Amino acid sequence: MPRGGARPGAGRPKGSGSSKGICSVVGALRAGDIGSRRFETALEFAMSVINDSASDMNDKIRLAIAAMPFQHPKLAEQPAGKKEEAAAAAGRAASGRYATPRPPKLVVNNGTDQ
């Protein structure tokens, strides 16, 4: 009994794949004035396609999602919430006499009786 190889009916059916995608953006570039410009960065290219009125709305949405992290980076540090502020206040209050005691020292015997 043969193993592996091509099987009849296996794989994606013909015509089921989307013919859209980057091809429509390339087609819009050839048709519009965007194709004649030179872009310094990919972000500049994406923004010009987004602002082009002849581009397909689905392409604009995809490019906007891809360009968003470069336009609006995530905040490095967010302001502390109520729980963080309470923990910091408790840490400041627990000093001196009320500080957490240090853990006990561990004594190693190394197998000798003392």
pLDDT at 42: 84
Note the pLDDT of residue 41: 84
In this structure, is residue 44 part of a structural domain? yes
The residue with greater pLDDT, 76 or 58, is 58
CA 74, distance to chain mean position in Å, is 10
Residue 51 lies in a domain: yes
Indicate the number of domains in the chain. Answer: 1
Q: Which helix (H) or strand (E) holds 46?
A: helix 42-51
pLDDT digits (tens, 9 = 90+) for 17-74: 655 555 555 555 555 556 567 888 888 888 888 888 888 899 889 888 888 888 777 7
Question: CA nearest 67: which of 75, 59, 56, 76?
Answer: 59
pTM summary value: 0.38
Domain that holds residue 54: 22-71
Q: Is residue 15 part of a domain?
A: no
